[in-house]
């Protein structure tokens, strides 16, 4: 089975169930025109985030890693009137500075937590993978029982299970997995995905 088959299946269900959407399409086109990397979630994954947000009746959503706002739009559309989505991003062009600062996302989360916000019903973690465990800790701290936490890109073509892989992203995913395994306040699972974004996977945790 090949990427071609995965793409065709995404195309088949996508045409039937998702259709095309001018707002989302133009968000992607504008991101591409601005030279952003094309690493937004796939349309069916955006739809999954939207459905999960609806399923938990999310009124407040936290995202770490905005890129061009594609996944943000999908999730924001699930919010009721008066709902809020807070999304944290460090500009790609400032990546070098951010790396030196050791994770702008972490600093922003610290600031956000200091404001003692109402708990988030849903969090989507999709930023620098090496900080996944730390983002998870913050998401948990800012959650309530029943909140869900979704983490993107936990499979990365299978690298996570390759014993010889010690790349920073893989180590970040393993640190997250071990963190989740030892955390009594959540239940979590991982689903591998294939499709237009290749072979990857999502971790989904529910706060007990
Ligand atoms: N969620 C987006 C894709 C995000 S790509 C979507 O699916 O549409 C990952 C993003 O995380 C990039 O835009 C990158 O600049 C950002 N990022 C990387 N390190 C970060 C950090 N430390 N804090 C905040 N954002 C970060
Ligand atoms: C990549 C994909 C992502 O969804 C992401 O959030 C970061 C990086 C990638 O394919 O490199
Ligand atoms: Mg991602």
Q: What is the pTM of this model?
A: 0.90
Residue 152 CB less than 6 A away from ligand 2: yes
Give pLDDT tens digits for 47-94.
Answer: 999 999 999 999 999 989 988 888 988 998 999 989 998 888 876 543
Pull the structure tokens for residue 165: 């892989």
Selection from 5, 14, 48, 206 nearest residue 122 by Cα: 206
Q: Which of 87, 125, 128, 138 to mutate to test the pocket of ligand 1 (most atoms within 8 A of CB)?
A: 128
Measured in Å, residue 64 CA sits from the centre of ligand 1 at: 6
Question: 97 or 192, which is more confident?
Answer: 192
Looking at the CA of residue 67, tell me the nearest atom of ligand 2.
6
CA angle, 146 then 110 then 94, to 5°: 115
Range 189-193 contact pairs with CB under 8 angstroms and sequence separation of 24 or more: 190/154, 190/155, 192/155, 193/45, 193/155
Pull the structure tokens for residue 145: 């029982």
């Amino acid at each position: 089975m090949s990427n071609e088959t995965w793409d065709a299946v995404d195309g088949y269900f996508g045409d039937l169930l998702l259709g095309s959407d001018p707002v989302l399409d133009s968000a992607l086109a504008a991101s591409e025109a601005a030279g952003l990397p094309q690493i937004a979630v796939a349309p069916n994954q955006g739809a999954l985030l939207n459905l999960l947000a609806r399923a938990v009746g999310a009124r407040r959503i936290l995202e770490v890693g905005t890129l061009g706002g594609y996944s943000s739009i999908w999730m924001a559309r699930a919010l009721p009137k008066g709902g809020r989505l807070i999304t944290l991003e460090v500009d790609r062009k400032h990546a070098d500075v951010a790396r030196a600062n050791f994770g702008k996302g972490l600093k922003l989360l610290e600031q956000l937590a200091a404001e003692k916000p109402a708990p988030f019903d849903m969090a989507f973690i999709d930023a620098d993978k090496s900080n996944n465990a730390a983002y998870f800790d913050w998401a948990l701290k800012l959650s309530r029982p029943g909140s869900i936490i979704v983490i993107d890109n936990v499979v990365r073509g299978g690298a996570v299970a390759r014993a010889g892989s010690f790349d920073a992203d893989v180590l970040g995913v393993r640190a997250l997995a071990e963190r989740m395994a030892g955390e009594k306040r959540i239940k979590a699972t991982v689903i591998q995905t294939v499709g237009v974004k290749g072979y990857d996977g999502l971790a989904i945790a529910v706060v007990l």
